[in-house]
Every structure is written in C-alpha cells, then in structure tokens.
Amino acid sequence: MTQIRSVVLGCGSYLPEQVVTNAQLAARIDTSDEWIVQRTGIRERHIAGEGEFTSHLAIKAAQAALTDAGLDAQSIDLIVLATSTPDNTFPATAVAVQHALGINHGAAFDLQAVCSGFVFALATADNFLRTGAFKRALVIGAETFSRILDWTDRGTCVLFGDGAGAVVLEAQEQPGKAATDRGIVTTHLRSDGRHKAKLFVDGGPSSTQTVGHLRMEGREVFKHAVGMITDVIVDAFEATGLNADSIDWFVPHQANKRIIDASAHKLHIAPEKVVLTVDRHGNTSAASIPLALSAARKDGRIKRGDMVLMEAMGGGFTWGSAMVRW
C-alpha cells in the first residue's frame, strides 16, 4: 500500500559573519578555552550583528534551501519557523520570511519548543503534508540566542550562538515501506513541564513585560538529557523495525559534545556516523540540527538514500526524534 511521505528536496543554512572564540570570552569573563572545550566541546560561535534579526538569518537560510532544491519560492505553500527568539512578540517571524520571499499565499507561522523546535516543526509540517492540506513546505530553525544571554554568567553565555537552517519538504507518494521509503519515516515528540525551572528565560510579555535572560541548571539538564534523548530514539526504532545499524547518519541537537557522545554510545551508534558541529557553532537551539544537516550535505556526507536520525532536547522540557531517508 502506497503512502504519502514528506521528502526533503533541499537544505540550506546561514551563519552571521561575526565569530566569537573561547579566548575572546575568556578576556571578558572568568573562564578559559580549556574549561569550555573540556565541558562542552565548543571552540567558537557566531553572533548576529547589530540590526541583524532572527528573520534575516531565517530568510537567508530559506533562500539557500530553495536554491539547493532548485525551486522558486512561489512553489512553497507552508512555512513553519521554529524559534524562541522572534523579531517581535507578534506577528510571527515566519510571516516576515514569507513576505521577503514574495509569497502571499498559503500559511506561515512560528513554533516554540526551544532546542527541540526544529524536530517539532518537522513533525508539524509532515503531518500537514501527509493529509494533503499543503504540497510543499519550508521548515526553518532560526535563533539569535545572543539577545537573551546574561553575558556575565559564565555557565550559560559560553554555550550559545546564533544561526539558521532550513529544509524544503514535498509531499510525495512512496511505496509505504519504512525501511526503504524516501522522506520522513517517523517522528516522536515529548514534553514535561515539571522541569521548567531547570532551563527557562526569566521574562516575557505576560509575566514581566521584559525579554529576560536564559537561566539554566546545567547539571540537572545534563542528568536528564541522555535518558530522554535515547527514549524517543528507541521509540523510533520500535515504530520502524530499524536499529542503530540501519542509520547512516546521526544528527543530534548540538548542545554539548559530552551529551552527544554519551547518547551515541548508549544507542550503539558508531562515532563515525555522528555529525558534529557544536565545536564551530555552539548551541544554536532550534537552528542547530538544520545547520548540522546543511554542513553534512555540503561536505558530501549525507547523500540521497541515506537514513538520517535526528534528536533534540530543550527547555520545558521538550524532546523529540525524527527519522528521514534523504
């Protein structure tokens, strides 16, 4: 029995020009390159320039994805933009992207699931495409986390960076076999609000009428991360009948190299299958997975027919997985 799947047609990304190294941070706060690398694997991160907004990053990533797909923007009828750092409280940053691309049909909206945002957005677009409500979607993860950091807090400001990544999805009829179909094969999403205090921003329009700053209990987040991540990946394996050996590439949320290494080890995923960009990008929240996808596409690692496993965990807590045959 055939099945409609959301097939990836193109992938693109954008990083701000400004690069901030660990050494530059060490000149401003009580930290060191050795301390940051040992605990996180991060060596540098990109920071948006003055007047450079989340929408600007998202537009450039979307344009790159459309170019990679060889498509005109007018063929897009759905935009789902994952971000925790929108340009405005409203309207959605997605409509700014839609306007910049010259699209005035279909639908565009933001989705907020923090670092899990891209996986949540991918699952949302996939469900719309599979029902026939839309034909082609831009799924974007874009963040300017530098705008919500307390730059005196060495426990958080060294971790995050800015950037954007995007994919173009198209609804296509496939044979209906999880092991061989192209497109999104399965997605699994979770959340648990009991953990809010472990990772949150201490401000918002309703509560403080301010933007606020990111606050995190690092050890608590680390403690929960590996278990939650592996939980939704095991669900993906059970749903498809696949296993770690079936995976060509593991593209995790780029938050911390120690979490990534521990997750891959627990799942028996070979180190050479893991795509790592955290050293160059830092944690770019919802942008981290599409940035990593784009990097692995550009250097030739991810090829058509490859099975790609993605996972993420973010504030809330939210967490999720997606399995896609390229």
Give the active site residue among 157, 188, 213, 283. 283
Residue with tokens 């996939």: 126
127 classed as catalytic: no
Using omega within 30 degrees of 0 as the cis cutoff, is the peptide bond preceding 86 cis?
A: no
The CA radius of gyration of the chain, in Å to the nearest whole number, is: 18
Sign of CA dihedral 311, 217, 41, 64: positive
Residue type, 156: T
Taking CA atoms, 232 is separated from 97, 197, 269, 323, in Å, by: 31, 22, 15, 11
Residue 45 neighbours by CB under 8 Å, 6+ apart:
19, 20, 160, 161, 162, 280, 281, 282, 284
Concerning whether 11 is annotated as a catalytic residue, the answer is no
**Active site (annotated) includes residue 253:** yes
Q: Which residue has the tokens 């320039």?
A: 49
Tokens 């759905």, located at residue: 78
> Of 195, 213, 253, 281, which is the active-site residue?
253
Catalytic residue among 46, 115, 157, 213: 115
Q: What tokens does 201 get?
A: 């921003």
CA dihedral 120→100→304→254, nearest 10 degrees, is -50
Which two structure tokens, joined as six digits, stand for 291?
């940035």
Structure tokens at 245: 């050996």
* Cis previous bond, 91, omega within 30: yes
Q: Rounded to the nearest 5°, which phi and psi values hold at 181?
A: -60, 140
Question: Across 70-182, where does the E strand assignment appear?
Answer: 78-82, 107-111, 136-144, 162-174
Bridge-based pairing state of the strands 44-47 and 107-111: unpaired
Which residues are tagged catalytic? 115, 253, 283
